[in-house]
Amino acid sequence: MMQVNTLIDQVIFAWQQLQQKSPLVQCITNKVASNYSANVLLACGASPAMIDNPYEAESFTRITNALNINLGTPSSEQMQAMKISAATAHQKNIPWVLDPVGYSPILKWRSDMVDTLLTFLPSVIRGNASEILTLAGESIPSKGVDSTLDSKDVYPKATALLKYSPCIAISGASDFILSQETDQVIEIKGGSALQPKITATGCALGALIAAYCAVAPIHIATIAAHVHFAIAGKLAYESAPTLGQFNVAFIDELFTLNAEKIKQHIDIQIH
């Protein structure tokens, strides 16, 4: 049974390891998110590499510390690279994160690729409530790639996905983390309502989860990445409550996170 105080210590240690090791994270992500995800990883202490060409995918994945795959705006070449890199990561035991953006019957081409990628057993599946519930087999109304559901209503049904991955992360007003490691569900509060109004924050969170997975156990890494985002969002909003200023302040807060801020501002519950 996980205890909150122990979990906080593990999150702090994971953050310290991220700063010390600066893991190389390969991101096959969408064109909207590529620059922002790279800047988020740099701000948090990781080293991004946006290698998404199928001719380079296998050789590069072999030298990465973690892989992030995001299906936001997939091109044909990106799709080939995703399959190659996921297979390589699975073969080489490199942690990798799957972000099934837009998974739905409407976007069948990408959704079929997600189904293929699941056979390579991602370390973490992360998404918004609608994506996760659809991936778990529930038919729901769609609003493009935005969630139409609340994460707290979805996590009980998301346990079905644990057969594909040791960790499931559902983002929303509260984030919920499910893991094969425990029957307990971790709820992470914080952040700001402005985060979804900035393009690619969710995509960048997937990349940060991958970075943490390179330096910590999968479930702790996933929790730590969400805590990092939640605290940064909360503090950024306190100093910069308008959207443009918040965007800059959020990156600054990601960069200036430290152990004391984690202890002071972490808002975590175990269910």
Give the distance from CA 170 to its chain's centroid: 9
Residue 42, amino acid? L
Number of domains present in the structure of the chain: 1
| pLDDT per residue as tens, the chain (271 positions) | 779 999 999 999 999 999 999 999 999 999 999 999 999 999 999 999 999 999 999 999 999 999 999 999 999 999 999 999 999 999 999 999 999 999 988 999 999 999 999 999 999 999 998 899 999 987 655 554 454 567 777 888 899 999 999 999 999 889 999 999 999 999 999 999 999 999 999 999 999 999 999 999 999 999 999 999 999 999 999 999 999 999 999 999 999 999 999 999 999 999 9
Binding residues for ATP, by number, are 126, 171
Query: Of all helices (H) and strands (E), which one includes residue 174?
Result: none
CATH code of 213's domain: 3.40.1190.20
Do the beta carbons of residue 240 and residue 31 sit within 8 Å? no
3-state secondary structure of 16: helix
Which amino acids are annotated as binding site, given as ranges?
50, 126, 171, 200
Predicted TM-score (pTM) of this structure: 0.95
Question: 219: domain range?
Answer: 4-270
CB 203 within 8 A of CB 29: yes
Closest CA to 64 of 53, 77, 48, 80: 48
Residue/partner pairs of 16-19 with CB below 8 Å, 24 or more apart: 16/259, 17/215, 17/216, 18/44, 18/45, 18/46, 18/211, 18/212, 18/215, 18/216, 18/224, 19/45
Indicate the annotated binding residues for substrate.
50, 200
